[in-house]
Amino acid sequence: MDETTAMPSKAELLQAEAEAELYSHTFGYLKSMALQSAVKLGIPNVLHRCGGAATLPELLSTLPLHPSKRPYLSRLMKMLAAAGIFTAEEAPAAPSGGDDGAPTTVYHLNALSRLLVDHADVNRSPCMSPSVLLATTNLFVSASLQLHQWLLSEEGATAESPFMMAHGGSLFDVGSHDAELNAVFNSSMGPSSDFVAALVVRECREVFVGITSLVDIGGGKGTTARTIAEAFPHITCSVLDLPQVVQGIPPNGAVEFVAGDMREFVPPADALLLKYVLHNWSDQECVKILTRCREAISHGAKAGKVIIIDTVVGSQSQKIIECQATMDLSMMMLFNGKERDEHNWHSLFIEAGFSRYKLHNVVGMRYLIEVHP
């Protein structure tokens, strides 16, 4: 057989597939930037307003693109569809559609891109667009570029995290004087908090039995605390967070806001809530925080409990395993924190002086952990 017509060997085909996969990973940041662009342009919302699907001309008639850039939208949409953000379907062109009857691509919302729509759907799924904008902000991306340099540096000599190496302070330090970052951060926390809080009060009602006072530590603008107060009117709810977070929040009869640092002061209560707080911190810092929490729930005749809403690593789903590994690396990059499996959580509880705990799987990666002295 002539060499020019010889079929590639199985090894060569595997090599070509490996090269394609490597290129896909190498340019993976373009997928993140394309996703960010879709959110900033409002493409998911446009598709939603079009009934969940639209052609390229329909998108072009709505999106505020510069006239000179209109021809490039098709390439962005092709990338987003290839990445699974949207679903692309070829439909026959209308008889008067031009292009000699060439098929037309119709872009559809799918389960993933529906999470980017501002309108809450019937399942009360959160709008994740603010989280996309936070994760792809210049501050986060530039911090990730320091990862290799941080790994080469002596521990603690330069910075606790790549974010600190890039920006000279922790995320919370930078947020205290960067109004834009603070606003994006708080905006990203709200929708997820609302979703998780609704699930928790529905699926874990027994956790709140016997509680008369609760402090949501690091509770932001009080989304979770308000949901708990509405579901359990007998519980007096408070939020403890940094001054730059709680300042300007209007008084709310159901929730009291307290400015402070949880590492220095935790108000006493029957129950303390830590929702997606501890994964921001190293094991050493977590033990300090949990120890202070244990002291705060031991003020009365009957000891209270700590309620933790966080990730417990471990799953049979490859997608969830990859997501957990990605989030773990993100916590290392931003805070020098980590995602933890049950063994890690158990070790923290014992070292902080707690004697027992109980896991409740809320949904997916989200767990509620009751921790008792």
State residue 242's pLDDT score.
87
CATH node for 3-116:
1.10.10.10
State residue 134's pLDDT score.
94
Contact 313, 328 (CB under 8 A): yes
Mean pLDDT over each residue of the chain, to the nearest integer: 89
Task: Give CA separation, 114 vs 127, 190, 288, 340, in Å.
Answer: 8, 17, 40, 29
Which range has highest mean pLDDT (74-83, 95-104, 362-371)? 74-83
| pLDDT tens column, 170-199 | 998 898 888 888 888 878 877 777 788 888
Rounded CA separation 174/244 (Å): 11
Contact 41, 69 (CB under 8 A): no
All CATH 3.40.50.150 domain ranges of the chain, comma separated, are 169-179+191-372
- Residue 279 is among the residues annotated as catalytic for this protein: yes
Long-range contacts: 84-91, Cβ < 8 Å, 24+? 84/110, 84/112, 85/34, 85/35, 85/38, 85/110, 85/112, 85/113, 86/43, 86/47, 86/110, 86/113, 89/53, 91/55
User: Which tokens sit at 31?
Assistant: 């997928």
User: Which tokens sit at 66?
Assistant: 């510069």
| pLDDT tens column, 212-251 | 999 999 998 888 999 999 999 999 999 999 888 888 887 7
Rounded CA separation 135/32 (Å): 9
State residue 192's pLDDT score.
73
State residue 39's pLDDT score.
97
State residue 8's pLDDT score.
84
pLDDT class of 3 with cuts at 50, 70, 90: low
For the segment 20-29, the average pLDDT, to the nearest whole number, is 94
User: Which tokens sit at 161?
Assistant: 């995290």
**Residues forming beta bridges with residue 90, ordered by sequence position:** 105
State residue 189's pLDDT score.
79
| pLDDT tens column, 282-335 | 999 999 999 999 999 987 667 899 999 999 998 878 888 999 999 999 999 999
State residue 104's pLDDT score.
87
Half-sphere exposure in the Cβ direction for 254 (13 Å, CA) = 15
Query: Which architecture, in CATH terms, is 169-179+191-372?
Result: 3-Layer(aba) Sandwich (3.40)
Of 177, 279, 343, 360, which one is the catalytic site residue?
279
Q: In what order do the strands lie in the sheet with 87-91?
A: 53-55, 104-108, 87-91
If phi > 0 it is left, if psi is from -120 to 50 it is alpha, else beta; for residue 345 that is alpha
- Strand pairing report for 236-241 and 213-217: parallel
All CATH 1.10.10.10 domain ranges of the chain, comma separated, are 3-116
